Amino acid sequence: DAKTTQPNSMESNEEEPVHLPCNHSTISGTDYIHWYRQLPSQGPEYVIHGLTSNVNNRMASLAIAEDRKSSTLILHRATLRDAAVYYCILSAIYNFNKFYFGSGTKLNVKP
From 10-18, 56-64, 73-81, 97-105, give the range in contact with another protein by CB under 8 A.
Answer: 97-105
- Please, which residue, 11 or 45, has the CB nearer to another protein? 45
From 21-29, 58-66, 67-75, 101-109, give the range in contact with another protein by CB under 8 A.
Answer: 101-109
Parallel, antiparallel, or unpaired for β 70-75 and 9-13? unpaired
Residue 23 interacting with another protein (CB under 8 A): no
* 3-state SS assignment for residue 85: strand
Residue 16 interacting with another protein (CB under 8 A): no
Cα–Cα distance for residue pair 86/60, rounded to 1 Å: 12
* 3-state SS assignment for residue 81: helix
Residue 42 interacting with another protein (CB under 8 A): yes
Residues 68-87, interacting with another protein (CB under 8 A):
87
Q: Which residues of the shown chain bind another protein in the complex (CB under 8 A)?
A: 32, 42-46, 49, 87, 96-104
